[in-house]
């Protein structure tokens, strides 16, 4: 509805929207800022009251809002003096116009009439059509048309102001929809693509150029633009892109240090960069600021999962589900934990539960495929990967899964070539495509092709430590320890805190007899994963070979206190006690080793460490239990 009673020719909605932004909506609390919640409540009430039809008992115009209100999104900062003048003019029934020609809300002429009088009625028709179709910043869209109109000499300042307001209002509506959908986990996050966020950031850039600063907070616009630009690369496989995104989020936090949504994104980027400790610190800040917000709880679960701290991960995942049981990604996180534990049936259960919330999630279908593949259920695995590709044809991991099934089950050269070409064709500049293929070729001992794929991946992104680790694993499998150490060293130079890198380097040095270097690396890795049983065992073994027997014994005992069924630790203690002629203690440890582990009789009999026990009746009795 439009009419002279609403600001001299404005629409009913836009009139109350402007008044709300200028301070009339600043009510709960009246703190000098108009939040999106306050603005929505104010405009809905005013428009509803003015458009109510008593005869039909209906509201002829009711503003709608797509998402849950975002309490912390500030839409404008109130100029108290201007607000008081506006209140006085509204109370007197006069449409108030600030002393600013560009606002001109008091002109009693319809905008369409003004455009027609200026000879631009066709441009105005195209302008409105573009806005109604959502073509705001595209080529030949509303912004391009606005620029043409503004360049025309017939365009008066008041007309320019009205057109800018029309466009800026729609731009902010679109951006608010993106931000608030994110804030309230209101959509499948697989929709959160680079384009999804970057389009919103570009709309904010145009908004800054056309909107009047009287009606918005420039600081909030700058912060949200940095947030959107940073989030655009949240799923990038390029390390440089993720680092640049992290820098943008850090800049936003410097401007707005109490914004929970910024801490959540910062934590998410730290996880993507394998910086799990930093992620935990950051996400805890986000949780403290927004304790009932789903995302930081879920992402904290993800950080703990990546550190193999599954019990802590489950605590946060279950907190996330308590906040929103419909969020399918959390079910996938729990499924991932069970997969890593080798509990495939439980993994399938949780993945299926996630798919009951969203049957179109390609990540969940891919997770389901890998769970079936672990059970060697090839038909169901392939079906699941196909479903993942159906909903996202370019999804790398679904394609990788299908390729693996063909290599394991069908061993068809044609199928392998088909998937390799398809993956490269779909995203030829994605380093993860080539590193993934390199990992698969390593798995099937196609080493020349594996190294070729790794080389392409590193040419695109040489800063990805995971790719260097895959190169190291390939060379280690090939028996080229020197090349493997070089590759792992590259990974370590990029990320000196990665447990896997430190552990593998330690193993390589250990196998070369460089026990001092191996011990240092094992100690470093345990700083970041102190409960890792394999690393604890390797450190104790290195100490034993270095003659640090007391430290070795203490290491084995600490390991067994935390993991009492670690058979190899019992076996190593048995060998140490046998060497010290503590035969009863040695036999006791050996019995526990055989209880929890599988050992071959021939290997135990020929082990020099067991030589002091060969004539013991108890030793012979224990050997009878072995194959």
Tokens of 536: 């604890």
Tokens of 470: 């895959």
Which helix (H) or strand (E) is 412 found in, with range?
none
Rounded CA-CA distance 166/127 in Å is 10
Predicted pLDDT of residue 311: 94
Note whether 224 and 185 are within 8 A (CB).
no
Residue 191 pLDDT grade (very low, low, confident, very high; cuts 50, 70, 90): low
What is the chain's mean pLDDT, rounded?
A: 87
Pairing mode, strands 58-59 and 52-53:
antiparallel
Q: Is the pLDDT of residue 95 over 50?
A: no
Note whether 123 and 148 are within 8 A (CB).
yes
Q: Is the pLDDT of residue 192 over 70?
A: yes
| Mean pLDDT, residues 473-484 | 96
Q: Is the pLDDT of residue 157 over 70?
A: yes
Note whether 495 and 469 are within 8 A (CB).
no
Rounded CA-CA distance 494/509 in Å is 20
Mean pLDDT is lowest, of 112-121, 236-245, 493-502, 560-569, for: 112-121
Within the chain, all domains assigned CATH 1.25.40.10 are found at 234-325
Note whether 178 and 187 are within 8 A (CB).
no
Q: Is the pLDDT of residue 456 over 80?
A: yes
CA-to-CA separations, 507 to 214, 445, 491, 494, 555, in angstroms, rounded:
64, 21, 15, 19, 17
Residue 110 pLDDT grade (very low, low, confident, very high; cuts 50, 70, 90): low
Instruction: Give the per-residue SS3 of 544-564.
Output: HHCCCHHHHHHHHHHHHHHCC
Reported pTM: 0.71
Tell me the pLDDT tens digit for each residue of 360-400. 999 999 999 999 999 999 999 999 999 999 998 888 899 99
Instruction: Give the per-residue SS3 of 53-67.
Output: ECCCCEECCCCCCCC
CA-to-CA separations, 75 to 70, 78, 80, 173, 184, in angstroms, rounded:
11, 10, 16, 11, 18
Rounded CA-CA distance 171/215 in Å is 13
Q: Is the pLDDT of residue 427 over 90?
A: no
Residue 4 pLDDT grade (very low, low, confident, very high; cuts 50, 70, 90): very low
Q: Is the pLDDT of residue 169 over 70?
A: yes
High-pLDDT (> 90) share of the chain, %: 60
| Mean pLDDT, residues 255-268 | 93
Mean pLDDT is lowest, of 56-60, 419-423, 458-462, 506-510, for: 56-60
- Exposed, middle or buried: residue 581 (CB in 10 Å: 0-12, 13-18, 19+)? exposed
Predicted pLDDT of residue 231: 92
Which residue bears the tokens 């993934």?
A: 436
Supply the CATH classification number for the domain 234-325.
1.25.40.10
- Torsion 122-123-124-126 (CA) sign: positive
Mean pLDDT is lowest, of 81-85, 183-187, 230-234, 494-498, for: 183-187
Tell me the pLDDT tens digit for each residue of 206-235. 999 998 877 678 888 999 999 999 999 887
| Mean pLDDT, residues 89-95 | 56
| Category of 193 on φ-ψ map: left (φ > 0), alpha (ψ -120 to 50) or beta | beta
Which residue bears the tokens 């552990």?
A: 503
Which helix (H) or strand (E) is 38 found in, with range?
helix 36-51
Note whether 396 and 433 are within 8 A (CB).
yes
Residue 282 pLDDT grade (very low, low, confident, very high; cuts 50, 70, 90): very high
Rounded CA-CA distance 284/280 in Å is 6
Q: Which residues 6+ apart lie within 8 Å of 219 measured at CB?
A: 255, 256
Note whether 538 and 507 are within 8 A (CB).
yes
| Mean pLDDT, residues 593-609 | 94
Predicted pLDDT of residue 143: 96
Instruction: Compute CA 422 distance to the chain's CA centroid, rounded to the nearest angstrom.
Output: 26
Mean pLDDT is lowest, of 65-74, 291-300, 536-545, for: 65-74
Higher-confidence residue of 504 and 79: namely 504
Mean pLDDT is lowest, of 38-47, 245-254, 430-439, for: 38-47
Mean pLDDT is lowest, of 1-5, 315-319, 591-595, 599-603, for: 1-5
Does the bond joining 6 to the residue before it have cis omega, within 30 degrees of 0? no
Tell me the pLDDT tens digit for each residue of 119-155. 888 888 899 899 989 999 999 999 999 999 999 988 8
Residue 39 pLDDT grade (very low, low, confident, very high; cuts 50, 70, 90): confident
């Amino acid at each position: 509805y439009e009419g002279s009673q609403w600001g001299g020719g404005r629409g009913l909605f836009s009139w109350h929207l402007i008044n709300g932004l200028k301070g009339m909506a600043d009510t709960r609390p009246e703190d000098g800022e108009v939040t999106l919640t306050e603005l929505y409540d104010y405009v809905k009430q005013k428009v509803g009251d003015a458009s109510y039809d008593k005869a039909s008992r209906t509201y002829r115009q009711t503003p709608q809002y797509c998402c849950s209100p975002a309490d912390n999104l500030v839409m404008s900062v109130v100029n108290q003096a201007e607000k008081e003048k506006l209140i006085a003019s509204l109370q007197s029934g006069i449409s108030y116009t600030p002393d600013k020609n560009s606002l001109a809300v008091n002109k009693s002429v319809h905008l369409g009439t003004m455009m027609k009088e200026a000879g631009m009625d066709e441009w105005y028709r195209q302008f409105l059509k573009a806005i109604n179709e959502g073509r705001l910043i595209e080529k030949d869209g509303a912004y391009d048309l606005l620029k043409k109109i503004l360049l025309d000499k017939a365009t008066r300042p008041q007309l320019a102001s009205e057109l800018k307001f029309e466009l800026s209002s729609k731009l902010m509506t679109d951006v608010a929809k993106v931000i608030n959908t994110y804030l309230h986990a209101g959509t499948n996050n697989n929709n959160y693509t680079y384009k999804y966020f970057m389009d919103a950031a570009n709309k904010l850039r145009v908004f800054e150029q056309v909107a009047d600063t009287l009606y918005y907070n420039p600081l909030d616009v700058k912060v949200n633009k940095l947030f959107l630009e940073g989030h655009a690369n949240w799923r990038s496989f390029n390390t440089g892109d993720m680092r640049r995104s992290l820098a943008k989020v850090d800049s936003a936090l410097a401007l707005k240090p109490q914004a929970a949504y910024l801490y959540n994104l910062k934590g998410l980027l730290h996880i993507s960069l394998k910086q799990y400790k930093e992620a935990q610190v950051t996400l805890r800040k986000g949780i403290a600021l927004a304790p009932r917000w789903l995302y930081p709880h879920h992402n904290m679960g993800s950080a703990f999962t990546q550190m193999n701290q599954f019990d802590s991960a489950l605590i946060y995942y279950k907190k996330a589900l308590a906040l929103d049981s419909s969020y399918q990604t959390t079910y996938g996180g729990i499924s991932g934990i069970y997969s890593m534990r080798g509990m495939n049936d439980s993994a399938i259960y949780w993945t299926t539960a996630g798919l009951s919330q969203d049957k179109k999630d390609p990540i969940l279908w891919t997770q389901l495929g890998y769970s079936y593949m672990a059970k060697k259920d090839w038909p169901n695995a392939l079906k699941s990967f196909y479903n993942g590709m159906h909903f996202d044809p370019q999804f790398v991991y679904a394609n990788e899964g299908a390729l693996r099934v063909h290599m394991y089950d069908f061993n068809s050269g044609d199928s392998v070539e088909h998937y390799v070409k398809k993956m490269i064709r779909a995203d030829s500049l994605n380093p993860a495509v080539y590193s993934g293929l390199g990992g698969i070729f390593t798995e099937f001992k196609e080493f020349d092709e594996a190294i070729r794929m790794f080389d392409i991946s590193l040419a695109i992104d040489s800063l990805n430590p995971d790719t260097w680790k895959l190169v190291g694993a390939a060379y280690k499998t090939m028996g080229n320890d020197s090349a493997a150490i070089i590759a792992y060293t590259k990974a370590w130079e990029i990320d000196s805190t990665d447990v896997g890198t430190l552990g593998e380097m330690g193993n390589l040095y250990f196998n070369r007899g460089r026990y001092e270097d191996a011990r240092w690396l094992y100690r470093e890795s345990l700083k970041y994963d102190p409960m890792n049983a394999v690393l604890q065992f390797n450190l104790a073994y290195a100490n034993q070979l270095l003659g640090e027997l007391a430290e070795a014994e203490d290491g084995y005992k600490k390991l067994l206190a935390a993991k009492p069924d670690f058979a190899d630790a019992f076996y190593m203690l048995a060998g140490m006690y046998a060497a010290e002629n503590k035969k009863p203690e040695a036999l006791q440890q050996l019995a526990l080793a055989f209880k929890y582990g599988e050992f071959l009789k021939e290997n135990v009999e020929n082990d020099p460490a067991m030589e002091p026990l060969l004539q013991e009746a108890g030793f012979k009795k224990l050997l009878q239990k072995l194959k």
